[in-house]
Amino acid sequence: MSIDAMVKRIEELKAEKDAVILSHNYQLPEVQRIADFVGDSLELAQKARDVSQSVIVFCGVHFMAETAALLSPEKTVLLPVMEAGCPMADMIDAPGLASMRAAHPDALVVCYVNSTAQVKAMSDVCCTSANAHGVVARIDPDSEVIFVPDRYLGMQVEKRTGRSLIKWPGYCPTHAKLVVEHVERARREHPGAPVIVHPESRPDVCEAADAVLSTGGMCRFARETSAPVVIVGTEVGLIDRLERENPAKKFVPLDERATCPNMKKTRLENVMAALETRHGRVTIAEPIASQARRAVEEMFASGRIRKAKY
Ligand code: 13P
Ligand code: SF4
């Protein structure tokens, strides 16, 4: 089937099935193009909660579809490729977090949204790369804070809030590929071009950059900057969106080998098949669902974050 025919069929199916397509910024260009909304983890979680359609086809990785399902239990959330996971999310499990909590019984637990529903269920509040520092700032300054699973994002939060966190040693294998030598080379090759990097990057890479931003923050930066060339330190899938939205500017990946294989698993064929057969439904069993939902909803709330009753 040609791309055009698939796009047409997907459009028909969307109307027929009362479906909306959400896509993360790292998805393949053709997937981003058929999506109703493209965004970062926070924007997609908000969209999933607010859309009126009864079916959400989530083009992203498993934890993102899980978060959408948590926030909208009445909707059908479909993940077109079930094997699209996040290795960082899998770096911590429930027993791992339980032993960390046992060692720090008074600490509040902040979990990055890149985590399983089970880990969220054992956390006091969730955060994304866009709001992690703001979430931690809502915790009593005298309280100990456990931060899981991304130690590098945790370090950026420490820097922005001036607080010390008890961090799980997880990381993103894709962002860990970016090293300071890439920043130095990019600055040599593109003098004057701003370097923006994702907070999942190594601390020395963040230190060497001009701005540390979520993928949504990078899209805003790209729109607002007057610089004609921008160096982008994140998964390369974002480049296509930046170019689409800012045709007069040039976006150079810090390292074009920074690809997330899981984000590239979803193809148009998979989106079409998910809509046709409604396969790939993501559901979370109770009591994990209610407990994890509480942590995600706390992220959207305001005011002091209190220790939850687990
Ligand atoms: P964003 O929320 O910044 O899009 O990041 C999600 C992610 O998985 C980064 O690797
Ligand atoms: Fe996970 Fe990294 Fe892929 Fe994001 S880029 S989904 S953190 S492995």
CA of 92 to the centre of ligand 2 (A): 14
- Whether 238 is in the pocket of ligand 2, judged by its Cβ within 6 Å, is no
Write the residue with the smallest CA distance to atom 6 of ligand 1: 41
Is residue 310 very low, low, confident or very high in pLDDT (cuts 50, 70, 90)?
Answer: low
What does residue 225 show for φ and ψ, rounded to 5 degrees?
Answer: -70, 150
Could you say which ligand is closest to the alpha carbon of residue 215?
A: 1
How far is it, in rounded angstroms, from Cα 178 to Cα 217?
Answer: 19
What CATH architecture does domain 3-84+263-277 belong to?
Answer: 3-Layer(aba) Sandwich (3.40)
CATH topology for the 178-253 domain: Rossmann fold (3.40.50)
Q: Would you list the domain boundaries of the chain?
A: 3-84+263-277, 88-172+288-300, 178-253
Give 66-82 pLDDT, tens digit per residue.
999 999 999 999 999 99
Ligand having the closest approach to the CA of 129: 1
What is the pLDDT confidence band of residue 29, given thresholds at 50, 70 and 90?
Answer: very high
pLDDT for 134 equals 97
CA–CA gap between residue 294 and residue 300 (Å, rounded): 10
Share of the chain above pLDDT 90, in %: 98
Q: Which residues contact 61 (CB under 8 A, 6 or more apart)?
A: 24, 84, 85, 86, 89, 260, 262, 263
Say what the pLDDT of residue 308 is: 84
pLDDT digits (tens, 9 = 90+) for 234-287: 999 999 999 999 999 999 999 999 999 999 999 999 999 999 999 999 999 999
Name the average pLDDT for the chain: 97
Q: Are 3-84+263-277 and 88-172+288-300 in the same CATH fold?
A: yes
- Given a cut of 80, whether residue 309 has pLDDT beyond it is no
Ligand 2 atom with the shortest distance to the CA of 175: 2
What's the average model confidence in pLDDT over 39-62?
Answer: 96
198-215 pLDDT per residue, tens: 999 999 999 999 999 999
Best mutation site among 22, 25, 46, 262 for ligand 1 pocket (most ligand atoms within 8 Å of CB): 25
Q: Which CATH class is domain 88-172+288-300?
A: alpha beta
User: Would you state the structure tokens that stand for residue 16, as one six-digit string?
Assistant: 């027929």
Give pLDDT, residue 45: 92
pTM above 0.75, yes or no: yes
